[in-house]
Amino acid sequence: MITVNENYLKLKAGYLFPEIGRRIRAFKEKNPNADIVKMGIGDVTQPLTPAVIEAMHKAVDEMANIKTFKGYDDDGVGYEFLRKAIRDNDFAARDVQIDLDEIFVSDGAKSDTGNIQEIFGIDNIIAVTDPVYPVYVDTNVMAGRTGAAKDSGGYEGIVYMPCTAENGFVPALPKEKVDLIYLCFPNNPTGAVATKEQLTEWVGYAKENKAVILFDAAYEAYISDPDIPHSIYEIDGAKDIAIEFRSFSKTAGFTGIRCAYSVVPKNLKAYKKDGIAVDVNPFWGRRHCTKFNGVSYISQRGAEAVYSPQGKKQIRQTIELYMNNAKTICDSLTALGYTVYGGVNAPYIWLKTPDGMGSWEFFDHLLENANIVGTPGAGFGTAGEGFFRLTAFALPENVTVAMERFKKL
């Protein structure tokens, strides 16, 4: 008899975005002519930049020629031309030394942050922020690293670290001993960033507790404050305890192209039950080349072009467009008396719902009275209740319309 992985049965039904979709459909049925402005799902809206398009066209032509055709990308860890561009531009330029064999190119930071847990033991205690990017939690539920879903939200066996207005949405170190810590800065959904001092505390905690930090830096390109680290490896000693995830999705509009990478330093250790230290880098390499055959050559050439002088300039313009949206949203809502967070070093605005409304209550209120869709904070975790996420990934004209409608609410 074939049995199922019963861990999947623990997953909470009614995942955030399906529920949002259901409410929008129900609203549209009653109001077929409503012009809805979507500021909900965190997907980019601007097209790929010319430098990327040109590089990808060229790569397509190479694929059409017997002399330049490419099949599998050897061991699936990414072409050297891309890993060199990553090493030089994302790290060496910030005084961080990363070796080529510490970089693993992939099809997405979602897959990487979801897959990474499988190289670690099943008994590890997982710590996540609350609110949280749901991938970190659900993949550990599927693997069997948690208990059942709790009525109060969350799962048994996971350590949740509340991110509140009081702590600036950067969690305090856990009081208990945890083994695997997921951090995401700049943060989705709160738009918060972590300072060098805060990350230094985390690195210290991980060292002291022989823990590993999984650092999701998918939004590093949105940092405008020069004092905020772009990589956790800007912190001394982080190469001993941290894995970092990056993606071209939000940096360069690759959500529909797919290209990302992870960094697993060769210094990073995890332990056998008998306490013997083991290198983690070969574990991830082994998993990668066993289960993955690499990202398309065309995507990798497109990603390489992100680092060309033209590419850099063009991508900066796109990010500025989004961050201008963020500023418009923050300024307009602040003027209207809302309390808003984020939106300065991240494309997300995290606003406190007015008049003590619940997150979903505010969602319905906004949809019905302003025809605007956002994301209820409660969908990201218990501590997100009473908050609401708006994204700056939108057309500027739609942001203008949305802010006019907020005024009339």
Query: Half-sphere exposure of 247 toward its Cβ, with a 13 Å CA cutoff?
Result: 23
Query: In terms of Cα–Cα distance, which of 27, 81, 10, 5 is closest to 304?
Result: 81
> CB 131 → ligand PLP: shortest distance, Å?
11
Q: How far is the CB of 116 from ligand PLP (least distance, A)?
A: 12
Task: Pick the closer one to ligand PLP by CB: 306 or 403.
Answer: 306
Report how far residue 369's alpha carbon sits from residue 408's, in angstroms, rounded to the nearest whole number.
9
Q: Which helix (H) or strand (E) holds 130?
A: strand 126-130
Q: What's the burial of 22, exposed, middle or buried (CB within 10 Å: 0-12/13-18/19+)?
A: exposed
CB of 34 to ligand PLP, least distance (A): 28
* Shortest distance, position 222 Cβ to ligand PLP, whole Å: 11
Shortest Cβ 349–ligand PLP spacing (Å) = 14
Q: First vs last Cα of the chain: how many Å apart? A: 58
| Cβ 172 vs Cβ 149: under 8 Å | no
* Nearer to ligand PLP among residue 113 and residue 332 (C-beta): 113
Strands 242-247 and 212-216: parallel
In the complex with ligand PLP, the residue whose CB is nearer, 131 or 154, is: 131
Beta carbon nearer to ligand PLP, 191 or 285: 191
Minimum Å gap between C-beta 369 and ligand PLP is 28
Torsion of CA 263, 268, 273, 274, to 10 degrees: 160
**What is d(CA 150, CA 158) in angstroms, rounded to the nearest whole number?**
11
Site residues, ligand PLP (CB under 6 A) = 42, 108-110, 133, 184, 188, 216, 218, 247, 249-250, 255, 260
Distances (CA, A) of 126 to 218, 249, 294, 321: 20, 26, 29, 37
Nearer to ligand PLP among residue 110 and residue 239 (C-beta): 110
Query: Which is nearer to ligand PLP, 129 or 281 (by Cβ)?
Result: 129
Residue count (the chain): 409
343: left (phi over 0), alpha (psi -120 to 50) or beta: left
Task: State the minimum distance, in angstroms, from the CB of residue 108 to ligand PLP.
Answer: 3
Give the nearer residue to ligand PLP in terms of CB position, either 186 or 265: 186
| Identity of the amino acid at 46 | Q
Pick 299 or 359: Cβ nearer ligand PLP: 299
Whichever of 326 and 370 has its CB closer to ligand PLP, that residue is 326
293 contact partners, CB below 8 Å, separation of at least 6: 72, 73, 76
Q: How far is the CB of 260 from ligand PLP (least distance, A)?
A: 4
**CB 132, CB 182: distance < 8 Å:** yes
In this complex, which beta carbon is closest to ligand PLP, that of residue 188 or of residue 300? 188
**Gyration radius of the chain's alpha carbons:** 22
Residue 338 CB, shortest distance to ligand PLP, in Å, is: 23
Smallest separation (angstroms) from ligand PLP to the CB of 247: 3
Find the residue with minimal CB distance to ligand PLP.
108
Residues β-bridged to residue 162 = 130
Angle at Cα 78 formed by Cα 74 and Cα 84, nearest 5°? Answer: 125
